[in-house]
Amino acid sequence: MSVDSSRFAKPAWASGLPSDWQVLPIKMIVSTPITDGPHETPEFLDEGVVFISAEAIQDGKIDFARRRGFISETDNRRYSRKYSPETGDIYVVKSGATTGKSAMVGEDTDFNIWSPLAVVRSKPSMDSRFVLHAIRSQIVQDAIAINWSWGTQQNIGMGALGRIQVPVPDHATQRQIADFLDRETARIDLLIEKKQGLVALLGEKARRDVSSLFEKLALDHRMWRLKHVLVAGLVYGANEPSDGDDPDDVRYIRITDIAADGNLRDDTFKSLPRERIRDYILEDGDILFARSGATVGKSFIYREHMGECCYAGYLIRARVNRQLVSPDFLKCFTSTDQFWNHILGTNIQATIQNVSAEKYANLAFPLPPLSVQGEISGKVKRDGERYAATKSSVNASIDRLKEYRSALITAAVTGQIDVTTYAKSGTPDRRLDAIQEEMGA
CATH of domain 25-166: 3.90.220.20
CA distances from 204 to 122, 260, 362 (A): 43, 15, 26
Q: Which among 273, 253, 367, 272 has a CA at the least distance from the CA of 315?
A: 253
Instruction: Indicate the pTM of the whole model.
Output: 0.79
pLDDT in tens, 366-384: 999 999 999 999 999 999 9
Give residue limits of the domains in the chain. Answer: 25-166, 222-367
Residue 346 has pLDDT above 70, yes or no: no
CATH topology of 25-166 equal to that of 222-367?
yes
Using CA atoms, how far apart are residues 94 and 102, in angstroms rounded to an integer? 10
pLDDT in tens, 66-83: 999 999 999 999 999 999
Question: β-pairing, 235-236 with 90-93?
Answer: unpaired
DSSP string, 114-169: -TTEEEE-B-TTS-HHHHHHHHHSHHHHHHHHHH-EESSSEE--HHHHHH-EEEE-
Q: What is the pLDDT of residue 350?
A: 44
pLDDT averaged over every residue in the chain: 91
> Residue 61: its pLDDT value, please?
92
| pLDDT at residue 248, as a whole number | 92
Per-residue pLDDT of 231-252, as tens digits, reads 989 999 999 888 889 999 999 9
Residues in the chain: 441
- Summarize pLDDT for 31-40 with one digit per residue, the tens: 999 999 999 9
The pLDDT tens digits of the residues spanning 292-335 come to: 877 888 999 999 999 999 999 999 999 999 999 999 999 999 99
Residue 290 clears pLDDT 50, i.e. is over it = yes
In angstroms, the CA 100 to CA 154 distance is: 10
For the chain, how long is the longest CA-to-CA vector? 81
How far is the C-alpha of 324 from the C-alpha of 370, rounded, in Å? 7
Mean pLDDT of all residues in 7-16: 84
Contact of 346 with 338, CB cutoff 8 Å:
no
Instruction: Give the H or E element holding residue 112.
Output: strand 111-113
Residue from 171, 170, 140, 169 nearest 156 by CA = 140
Residue 347 has pLDDT above 60, yes or no: no
Decide if domain 222-367 falls under CATH 3.40.50.11710. no
351: pLDDT confidence band, cut at 50, 70 and 90? very low
pLDDT at 438: 65
- What region does 234 belong to: left with phi over 0, alpha with psi -120 to 50, or beta? beta
Angle at 33 between CA 101 and CA 154, to 5 degrees: 35
